[in-house]
Every structure is written in structure tokens, then in C-alpha cells.
A and B are shown apart, each in its own frame.
Chain A
Amino acid sequence: MALDTVKAATENPNTVQPFAELGLKEDEYARIKTILGRRPTSSELAMYSVMWSEHCSYKSSKVHLKQFGEKAVKSDALLVGIGENAGVVDIGQNYAITFKIESHNHPSFIEPYQGAATGVGGIVRDILTMGARPIAVMDPLRFGLADAPDTRRLLPGIVAGIGGYGNCLGLPNIGGEIVFDETYAGNPLVNALCVGVMKHEDIKLATAHGTGNLVVLFGAKTGGDGIGGVSVLASETFNAAKPTKRPSVQVGDPFAEKVLIECCLEIFKADLVIGIQDLGGAGLSCATSELASAGSGGMQINLEKVPLRDPSLSPEEILMSESQERMCAIVAPTKIKTFMAICKKWDVTATVIGEVTSGERLHITFNGELIVDVPPRTVAHDGPVYNRPIKKPDYVDKLAKSTFTVPLPTAPDEVKAAVLKLIASPNIADKSWVTSQYDKYVQGNTVLAQPEDSGLIRIDEQTHLGVAVSTDANARWSYLDPYEGAKLALAESCRNIATSGAKPLAVTNCLNFGSPEDPGVMWQFAETVRGLADACLELGLPITGGNVSFYNQTGDVAILPTPVIGVLGVIQDVRKRTPMGIPNAGLDLYLIGKYNGNLSGSEWAYLHGEIGNVSPVADLDMEKRLVNFLLDGQPIFESAHDVSNGGLAATLVESVLKNQIGARVELNDVANALFSETPGRVLVSIKDSATNEIVKLAGKYQIPIYKIGTTGGTDLEINLSVISIEELSKAHTETFPKLFG
């Protein structure tokens, strides 16, 4: 096919173009023509189509997401906010932390290993791009029913992919979640979080300044993988009747990325780049247009200089390719020699492909012929914006008015059987089958990791400064009430941070939803964003960035609205962290926080096929006091563990099993007390000598506390029910090996 140049586009205005196949709507195509004053060339069409896809442009979510900026608290801690590759937070001692979650849901459904692996690779490059050394990853995952055949295809592949890539990069995997629900069948959620650390002065931005500065593409060569991945996969609902989309999934090479990380860090250290951008979704289209758009002017790219793995690629394909492990930097001509020498040291291919120009256009030529001539902002930042129709789905009020009942155990034998049943259920069962496939030790700074309440990493070996990260979502509460669900997820994530002894500092999010073209889904989304923005304001926490994944839907069935909220906390002395496990016998067990016995959205209800009627209402003022109570009380807590999924029953069992130390508790209204997931509660153990102190703290922060028992022995005794640690351990640990081999 002849090269479709700007000249050809002007001369042949009526050439029929496949905009619909590339995912563009008719009015979007018309808008491109208006912007350019002519039809786009095929290369321009390729660029607009990927950059205006839902995944890159946030066209359905933008109008809602702006609340994160409008309602934001003024925070001195926020060094770089929303809009860059990842937000950056000041944690003191001149250290800055960058962290972010992204989804890789659709690719992981098609090709579990590579989809999940490149999900890790992508988020790690986002963190690296900010100038930071990546120091940990986490992976919140959602699957269809645990015993469904497709889950057996997906889960082992996805876990192996996350491990295969992350382990090879030398990044400790310190936590995450695994949740099963039938709505995720066909739409698994693979969210990946990465944390990185740098000094304040090392922060890098994705911007191209200075006429004559060079555009350098470095890392892996460009191949045919992932062409159109974001527009084809992430922005469209799966339809069983369509042909397979496997070629749109990228293939990862973690070794190339590991070398790229070390190479970049050496380049950053020598202060050789003006701006830098990674190549992820939308590949070169994204990197060049975003760098130019955020910079001072224009850019000239010579596309034929891009090193290719597959020489048959057309210019359009080169622009759209999502080949992994590539970065694009803006380098001053005076520094290019040193830059190239470092790349050579690490055997990283680096090529000057263009330069920053004084104009205002992004020009791309291919063997001297102009094939792209666009204002970069129109590609990167001024994409279409939709105010999609919103309608509260009927189910919400219908459920709210309904009553539901689930069987509750009363006799000691029934209570014992119920606890064993709960802790063996896939959502509550021990996840070591998964987490043992992840390296949690590498880098030597992991203080806490899964199954602890939060992952905790030491930042400075001399001062003992550290950070904690937690991700949480309760999609069932979000389904019943997305506004409250989002608030509760944030509250839980903060509580997890404080439970480990760290102070919540900043928030990131990954909002996973069904199709935005469904007004009911859009209502769930809008309510979620409103809830999260309100909750951040009330808790005084800045949102540093996030990710939206729509179209997690098969036919009419959307996934449960799943806002995964990540919170970063700081701990001044990691040696003082509070672990979840009961450390020894002879301690007093206290349940902190009030409970209301509501079983809506609980795991116990789910085990009986019920979702409940109304979500709990978040009491953020209380949550704030609870966080302060936990931070203040940290010196007297021997252990602390959040009460969330699976209620007090799960919390007790996990606290007992961690170090195999028993406990004996007395509970009123035993079944509700064990299985209700009333938010805002934590189980702590203290020495008897600290009794006065905990009572004083409870008074100070107006938090109800209940002494429910003591630690010791080889059983968990709940009133008259006695369950041996052996029985607990067997029930808790057998489930995953049985399901997944």
C-alpha cells in the first residue's frame, strides 16, 4: 500500500477510512477532520484512535474525575499530582514516594500469563518514569467462582505471570487481594500497584522542552505485539461471536525491563534527561504526543529510525505498537554522548528518533515524507469528553426495601462448623498458594507482607523510616450503595495502614466498572467518584492519581462496581510496626470499635447466596479517631488486625494462625458478633499492665473498646465452642491447593 502522506490526504479528501474498525465513532472522526482541516492520514487516524480510546482519554470518566481536583484538600505532602505518570508524595527526610495502581483486566482474560505480566511491567515503568527506583508491587485480583473451569485457566496463569515478571525484576510483592464472585466470570480484574522511592530533586516529568533537544527511544525494539491493544481490548465489551483478539496482547520480557530500570536509574543519577515518558498503552503515539503536548512546542520525529523487531511493520503499526520495555527521553545534545554510553553499558538499544522544534506541531516523517502533522494537545489532552447518561438502577431501591435472612449458628457445635466453613471459603481461605509464588524478600527491606494488614517497606536503613501500602475494595457494599462503598473502601485501606502502625498520607485508585454506555453502570461510577472525593476531603488525604477500567462486562452482566483504593502511609520507625499475629500467650484481647450486627454484603451472607439489602454507612469522623487511636496506642499493642472480610471470625482465626497461638473469647450474640463485617473495627492484643493505658486512649478518642478474651493455649475457644489450631489450619489452608493443585 502506498504511504498515506499529508499531501495525499489533502489531495484525496474522500478516501474511505476504517475509523469505526479502529474504535472511533462517526462524530469523533468528524472532529478529527475539523481539527486538521482535512481528512487525517492513516497514521494520524491510528494515533487519534488509540489516544481517544476510553483507556487513554478517560472520555467517559473525565467529567466525574475532576471532582478529585475540585474537592481536593490542600496537602503539603503532594509534590506531583494527578496528570503525570504517577503522583509523588513527600514522606520527609528528603524522600519522595510515587505510587499508582493500573488495570490490565482485558489482556489478562485473553492471555492470562502475558496479560498479567505486562500489567506489572507497565505500572513499574510508570513509577520508573517519575525518576524513582521501584521498590514493591501489589496485586489486587478478582475472579469468577473459584471452582469454575475458566477460573482454573485464569488464576494460575495470572499468578504465574505476575510472579514471572515481578520476581524477575527483583521487586518484592507485598500484598494484594484475591476475591471471587460470579460477576467476574469472563471479566477477571488484574490490578497492579507499584511503589517507588526517590529524593526530591530526582523527580522527573513527561515533558519536552528546549528547541533542538533530542528525542531518544530506548529499550526493546518495536514489534507487532499489542497493536491497537488499548482501543481494541480495553475499550470494548467482549463478545463471544467475534474473532479472537490474541494478537492485541503484548508480550513481556522482564529481563529487558530489569536492565532498562538499572539503565534509567544510572541515567537519572547523572542528570541526563529533560523529560521522560514510558511507552505503554498507545505506544509511540502516546509518548510523542504527550511529551510534546506537555512541553513548550513542537516535535519532529523520523519514524524510519525506530529500531524494529519486525521490519515489515507499516508506519501506522509502528505508531500503535505496544511492544513492552521501551522508554522515550528528551536529552540535550551536549549530554547525548554520556546518555548513549550508559545505554551501551547496559546493552540497551538507544536511538535518536527526532528533536524538539520551535513550532507548535507534532511532525512525523517516514523516509522524508510527512505522514503526521497535528497539534499534539488535540491528540494527547483535548480528546472527546462525554457526559454519558446516568440512571440509578432499579435493583438498588428494590434491594434496600427487601429483607433477607441467613441461617445463623447457635449451638457450640454449629458455631464451630460455621467458623470452619467460613475460613475454608475461597474468599477467606489462606492465599499462600498464590503468595508463595511471589518473591517478598528481594531488596531486603520488606518488614511486613501479605497476609498482614498492609505491606510495609523500609526506606532508610539508618533512620528506619518506612512506608506502608494497602489496597482494599468491598464490591458488594459498592453494589448496594456505590457512594458508601467507595467511602468504606478508603476507610478500610486507611485503617489497614494505621493497624500496622503507619500514618495514612495519600490515596490512589483503580476504578473497575462495566460498560459506561449503560446508564446504570455510569450511575455506579459517578456515585463512586463522588464518594471517594468526599471521603478524601473528610479524611484530609490527597488523591495522587488513578486509573479507570470500563467495559468489564459480558453481555448485559457488568462486574460488581469495584473501586480498588490504595493508601500510602508513612512510619517513622519501622521497628515499631504492629504485626497482625498474636505474639504470645497471656495477653488480653480487645475488640476496638462499635458493631451493629448488620450482615449486608458480608461473606457469611454471600456463602448463603445473599448480598443483603443496605450497605453500612461510613462514619469517617469515627474512622479518623480510630486511626489516631491506633497510632497513639501503637506502643502498647502486641498485635493488631483489622476486622473486615469474614468479620471477627476471620480476624480471630488469622491472628491465631499466624504464630499458632490460641485464644479464648466470650461473645454476646455470638453468630452476629462473629460474622458481621461492621466497618471501623480492629482486634488488638495488649499486656494486662497496659489496661489503664488503653482505657485512657479509648476515652480520649471516644472509641468503644471491649475486652473479649485472652491469648494462649492450642485452641480457639469461642464461648463453648473449641476449635483446635490444627483444625483451623487444615480448614484455612486446604482450599487453594485443592482448587488449583
Chain B
Amino acid sequence: MSFRIGVVTFPGSLDDRDAARAIELAGGIAVPLFHASDDLKEVQAVVLPGGFSYGDYLRCGAIARFAPIMNSIVTAANHGFPVLGICNGFQVLCESHLLPGALTRNSNLHFLCRDQKLKIENTNTMWTTGFKQGQEILIPLKNGEGSFQCDDETLNMLENEGRVIARYVDFDPNGSRNLIAGISNERGNVVGLMPHPEHAIESLTGPSTDGLTFFTSVLHQLVGR
């Protein structure tokens, strides 16, 4: 059977249709969810896509956090519901306190779009089981505020608990602490990732097809439930 994965559109979301394409290509059914409703439409997982929700006003993700749909997502996530936040979605997850830390302005202060090499550090989350431990992948990174920051205590916790799921390799694009590109919550159902796996799903339009594994991983995990 095929699983329904929701993609939330906030005002200013940009990569929502791209996330939906990735879900479909991975074999799932993409279900559009609108920020103003708290209805999760019986989806079994959710992707918070990239973009500039609410124009990044105040702080990235700070306003999206208060959208009605987020109430439902936070509640569900606390019960183990799989959530992937990509780029702006990662920022929303941090603002919603589903993930610790914050994403700040890139260290060189420029928006940066590049094909970025990552090392997968944790293959036990809902979204990364399809990877091999230590696997290197190439996916696009594109953001202005992608520098992951947190206090030392949080950093130690993330590292000690193996919650860093991916790290930048060969090049430091934004000054993230410990080159962190993505993290998960304690249960491994909520993952935030700064680079864009939904843009590495076809060799025609992306630098690789490595990104697809995030989406096939969660679909396999849902089968196992």
C-alpha cells in the first residue's frame, strides 16, 4: 500500500511542490496541507518544505510556528509522528521547540546555493534508515540563514546521543557548529535538515539522486509500523 505524506504550504513556502514531487517519486502519495487549517488529512508523515514562510519576518520560522497546522503537527510529533523539516522547515521545527538550537545567518553573510557534500552520521531516524552509516551524499544547499547554533550543553547532548544526522564535508558553507547539517529529536521521528534532498531526486535536475533516500526511508519505516 501507499502512504500519505503531507506537505505544508505556509504563505511564502517555495519548495512545497518539489517536496511533493520527491514523495511521489519515492512511491508515496503527497497530500497538500494548508497552514491555516489544523487538519492533517490522515497523513502518516509530514514534510515542512523550504522557502521563506511569512517572508522570514521577525526570524525565520518564528511566525510559521503559530500557524494552526503546527499545533496538530507538534502534538502528533510528540507521539512519534514522522516530521521532516527542510531548510525553512528546519527553522520552523527549531522555533516550535521540536528540535533544539537555532539557524542563524550564514557566516559569510551571503545567500549560498551550491552542491554540498554531506556525511550521514545517524541511520536510525525515521528519515535516514536507507543510508549506510558514514555514507557521503551530494545534495543542493541553498539558504541565507543556515548556520546551526546552540549552547555547549545542547551540542554535547546532540553529539553524545547521536542526534547529529548529517554533517557538511570538504567545505564549511555557513559556520554551523561542528559542521552540523541536520539533527533529529530524541525519538528519531523528527528530523531537520538544512540542505534540500528534494532537489537531488533526478539526475536531470539535481547533482545526484541521493536525496530520494530520505523519502524512501520514511516510507519503509511506515510499512514496518
Contacts and interface: CB of A to CB of B under 8 A. Distances in A.
A164 B205 CA distance: 23
A487 to B, nearest CB: 34
B142 to A, nearest CB: 5
B111 A167 contact: yes
Nearest to A163: B111
A255 B52 contact: yes
Interface in A493-521: none
B11 A442 contact: no
Given A437-B113, A445-B205, A446-B205, A258 B52 contact: yes
A438 B110 CA distance: 10
Nearest to A170: B14
Interface string A445-461: 11100000000001001
Contacts of A259: 11-12
A444 B142 contact: no
Nearest to A253: B55
A440 B141 CA distance: 11
Given A347-B11, A458-B205, A441 B196 contact: yes
Interface in B37-91: 50-52, 54-57
Contacts of A441: 113, 140, 142, 196, 199, 205-206
Contacts of A458: 204-205
A167 B143 CA distance: 9
A439 B51 contact: no
A346 interface: yes
Given A444-B18, A575-B204, A164 B111 contact: yes
Contacts of A169: 14
B55 A254 contact: yes
Given A170-B51, A441-B140, A458-B205, A255 B113 contact: no
Chain B CB count within 10 A is highest, among A164, A255, A347, for A255
A596 interface: no
A45 interface: no
A442 B201 CA distance: 13
Contact of A438 (B17, B56, B113, B205): B113
A258 B205 CA distance: 23
A255 B12 contact: yes
B15 interface: yes
B220 interface: no
Contacts of A160: 110-111
B29 interface: no
Interface residues of A, number: 34
A443 B17 contact: yes
B198 to A, nearest CB: 7
B114 interface: yes
B105 interface: no
Nearest to B201: A444
A458 B142 CA distance: 20
B110 A442 contact: no
Contact of B112 (A164, A437, A461): A437
A256 B111 CA distance: 20
B187 interface: no
Given A168-B55, A441-B113, A443-B17, A346 B11 contact: yes
A659 interface: no
A582 interface: no
Contacts of B206: 441
A262 B112 CA distance: 25
A138 interface: no
Interface string A650-677: 0000000000000000000000000000
A687 B165 CA distance: 43
A260 B56 CA distance: 16
A440 B144 CA distance: 14
Given A168-B52, A170-B15, A254-B55, A440 B205 contact: no
A442 B18 contact: yes
Contacts of B204: 447, 458, 574-575
A575 B201 CA distance: 15
Chain A CB count within 10 A is highest, among B14, B112, B206, for B14
A444 B24 CA distance: 13
A436 interface: yes
Chain B CB count within 10 A is highest, among A256, A258, A436, A444, for A444
Interface in A455-493: 458, 461
Nearest to A255: B55
A436 B114 contact: yes
A444 B21 contact: yes
B205 A447 contact: yes
A440 B113 contact: yes
A739 to B, nearest CB: 14
B153 to A, nearest CB: 34
Contacts of A346: 11
A168 B51 CA distance: 7
Given A437-B110, A440-B113, A168 B205 contact: no
A428 B216 CA distance: 43
A444 B205 contact: yes
B111 A437 contact: yes
A442 B111 contact: no
A444 B23 CA distance: 13
Contacts of B57: 255
A151 to B, nearest CB: 17
Interface string B100-144: 000000000011111000000000000000000000000010101
A439 B196 CA distance: 12
A255 B205 contact: no
Contacts of A442: 14-15, 18, 50, 142, 199
Interface string A151-167: 00000000010011001
Contact of B113 (A253, A345, A436, A574): A436
A221 B14 CA distance: 24
Nearest to B34: A345
Interface in B1-47: 11-12, 14-15, 17-18, 21, 36
A416 to B, nearest CB: 29
Contacts of A256: 55
Contacts of A254: 52, 55
A170 B16 CA distance: 10
Nearest to B13: A170
Contact of B12 (A258, A437, A443): A258
Interface in A326-362: 345-347
A345 B204 CA distance: 35
Nearest to A577: B204
Nearest to A440: B113
Contacts of A446: 205
A101 to B, nearest CB: 22
B23 to A, nearest CB: 12
A443 B13 CA distance: 11
Contacts of B36: 345
A436 B11 contact: no
B83 to A, nearest CB: 21
Nearest to A435: B113
A353 B22 CA distance: 43
Nearest to A741: B108
Interface string B186-225: 0000000000101101001110000000000000000000
A255 B196 CA distance: 21
A554 B220 CA distance: 65
21 contacts: A168-B14, A168-B52, A168-B56, A170-B14, A170-B15, A255-B11, A345-B36, A346-B11, A347-B11, A436-B112, A437-B110, A437-B112, A438-B113, A439-B142, A442-B14, A442-B142, A442-B199, A444-B17, A444-B198, A458-B205, A574-B204
Given A436-B114, A442-B142, A574-B204, 6 more contacts: A167-B144, A255-B11, A255-B12, A441-B142, A442-B14, A444-B15
Q: Which 10 A-B pairs have the closest CB atoms?
A: A255-B55, A170-B14, A444-B18, A441-B199, A168-B52, A441-B140, A439-B142, A437-B111, A163-B111, A259-B11
Interface of B: 11-12, 14-15, 17-18, 21, 36, 50-52, 54-57, 110-114, 140, 142, 144, 196, 198-199, 201, 204-206
